[in-house]
């Protein structure tokens, strides 16, 4: 079917990132007294402000965990960044890390000089449409107007999908989730496309969520994860192993509630002992205190607790774990060994 087109001038946004290296990031963070963490400008479940104006969410929790690993408590300054500004902010040193639903790709790793510190959410790109359009498949979107965030992998995936299926579309460029919501609800575009988790999150904030349908097709792999800039492997280790600590904590049953008790004395599981600093000198290997992981887990809970709090079936977002379940529960999530 041919959908209505709007006369929108398509913009193609290039991102140029200076590859400045910033060694000794940990020293800079400690001297400053807080971590500067780049997050989304606002997306339900992942990065949002609560009624007290405090940042919360799945991606925000990782910032808190890293801050707590360093300082013993989550001393973090949150810097909200768009898809266009996030990489320059990281490269310039405006932020120390990104925790902003960013896809790990070859070109971002090698050309933009990012180091991805793991995957905290396995996602894929999808489409949402008003139910009133009667569309049930992405293969029916020929001629559609599509709201698309500039400077993202979704922009490139969209072009690939329509070209591969010999269909045309009219892009409606947007920069933030807020702008996407406003334009989509105002019928400035027929379709909105982004990561499937983002679609579910955004739909939960619509006045009438049931009036909108997420189409079944997933058109890409989107491994989302925290990123740091090239040039400081020691800093990358801290972000990477903080994420891993949250994952292995779920596997081992270490929670925000019991972590202090479990860390009070060595237990029967050697890996838990190493994680919680009751065995070995694992914190000092990264320039941190021995209880770095205890502080991170106490601040946010383990990976499963974070997922359930912000994205899980009992939230407005309502996502199942899927690929993001532990490998022991049918997913693909696990941490390398703490050894």
Q: Are residues 128 and 211 in the same domain?
A: yes
* 162 domain-assigned: yes
Q: Are residues 36 and 72 in the same domain?
A: yes
Out of 202, 222, 242, a domain closes at 222
Out of 222, 250, 265, a domain closes at 222
Per-residue pLDDT at 227: 98
Q: What distances in angstroms separate CA 314 from CA 54, 91, 266, 305, 317, one per listed residue?
A: 21, 37, 35, 12, 8
Q: How far apart are CA 128 and CA 168, in angstroms?
A: 17
Q: Are residues 229 and 116 in the same domain?
A: yes
* 4 domain-assigned: no
Q: Are residues 300 and 174 in the same domain?
A: no
Q: How far apart are CA 101 and CA 119, in angstroms?
A: 10
Q: Are residues 289 and 257 in the same domain?
A: yes
pTM: 0.86
* 339 residues of the chain, pLDDT tens digit each: 444 433 333 333 334 444 444 469 999 999 999 999 999 988 899 999 999 999 999 999 999 999 999 999 999 999 999 988 999 999 999 999 999 989 999 999 999 999 999 999 999 999 999 999 999 999 999 999 999 988 788 899 999 999 999 999 999 999 888 899 999 999 999 999 999 998 998 899 999 999 999 999 999 999 999 999 999 999 999 999 999 999 999 999 999 999 999 999 999 999 999 999 999 999 999 999 999 999 999 999 999 999 999 999 999 998 999 999 999 999 999 999 999
Per-residue pLDDT at 162: 97
For 296-324, give the DSSP string: HHHHH--HHHHHHHHTSTTSSS----GGG
Q: Are residues 109 and 183 in the same domain?
A: no
Out of 222, 244, 274, a domain closes at 222
Give the domain CATH number at 217: 3.40.190.10
Sign of the CA dihedral running 246, 249, 255, 258: negative
Q: Are residues 57 and 91 in the same domain?
A: yes
Q: Are residues 252 and 115 in the same domain?
A: yes
Which tokens in the block code for residue 196? 């499937």
Among candidate residues 61, 77, 99, the one with its CA nearest the CA of residue 228: 99
Count of domains forming the chain: 2
Q: Are residues 231 and 114 in the same domain?
A: yes
Which tokens in the block code for residue 152? 């993202």
Q: What distances in angstroms separate CA 213 from CA 126, 194, 200, 275, one per listed residue?
A: 11, 14, 10, 43
Q: Which residues contact 182 (CB under 8 A, 6 or more apart)?
A: none
Q: Are residues 216 and 80 in the same domain?
A: no
* 1 domain-assigned: no
DSSP letter, residue 143: T
DSSP letter, residue 83: T
Q: How far apart are CA 303 and CA 132, in angstroms?
A: 38
Task: Write out the residue range of the structural domain in which residue 148 sits.
Answer: 124-222
User: In 3-state terms, what secondary structure has residue 253?
Assistant: coil
Q: Are residues 214 and 229 in the same domain?
A: no
- The dihedral over CA atoms of 203, 167, 221, 112, expressed in degrees to the nearest 10, equals -100
Per-residue pLDDT at 16: 40
User: In 3-state terms, what secondary structure has residue 169?
Assistant: strand
Q: Are residues 190 and 243 in the same domain?
A: no
């Amino acid at each position: 079917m041919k959908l209505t087109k709007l006369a929108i001038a398509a913009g193609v946004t290039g991102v140029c990132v200076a590859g400045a290296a910033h060694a000794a990031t940990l020293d800079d963070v400690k001297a400053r007294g807080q971590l500067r963490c780049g997050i989304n400008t606002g997306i339900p479940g992942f990065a949002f402000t609560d009624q007290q104006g405090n940042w919360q969410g799945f991606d925000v929790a990782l910032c808190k965990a890293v801050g707590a690993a360093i300082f013993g408590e989550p001393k973090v300054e949150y810097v909200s960044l768009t898809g266009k500004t996030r990489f320059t902010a990281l490269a310039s040193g405006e932020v120390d890390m990104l925790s902003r639903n960013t896809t790990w790709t070859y070109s971002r790793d090698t050309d933009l000089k990012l180091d991805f510190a793991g995957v905290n959410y396995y996602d894929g790109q999808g489409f949402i449409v008003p139910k009133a359009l009667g569309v049930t498949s992405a293969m029916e979107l020929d001629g559609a107007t599509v709201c698309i965030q500039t400077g993202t992998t979704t922009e490139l995936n969209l072009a690939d999908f329509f070209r591969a299926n010999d269909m045309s579309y009219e892009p409606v460029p947007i920069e933030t989730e807020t702008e996407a919501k406003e334009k989509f609800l105002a019928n400035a575009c027929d379709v909105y496309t982004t990561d499937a988790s983002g679609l579910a999150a955004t739909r939960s904030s619509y006045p009438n969520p049931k009036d909108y349908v997420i189409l079944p097709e997933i058109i890409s792999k989107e491994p989302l994860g925290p990123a740091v800039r090239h040039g400081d492997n020691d800093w990358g280790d801290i972000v990477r192993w903080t994420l891993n600590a949250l994952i292995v904590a779920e596997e081992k049953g270490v929670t925000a509630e019991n972590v202090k008790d479990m860390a009070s004395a060595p237990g029967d599981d050697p890996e838990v002992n190493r994680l919680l600093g009751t065995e070995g000198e694992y914190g000092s290997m990264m320039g941190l205190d021995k209880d770095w992981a205890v502080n991170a887990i106490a601040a946010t809970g383990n990976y499963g607790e974070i997922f359930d709090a912000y994205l899980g079936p009992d939230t407005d977002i309502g996502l199942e774990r899927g690929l993001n379940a532990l490998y022991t529960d049918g997913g693909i999530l696990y941490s390398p060994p703490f050894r």
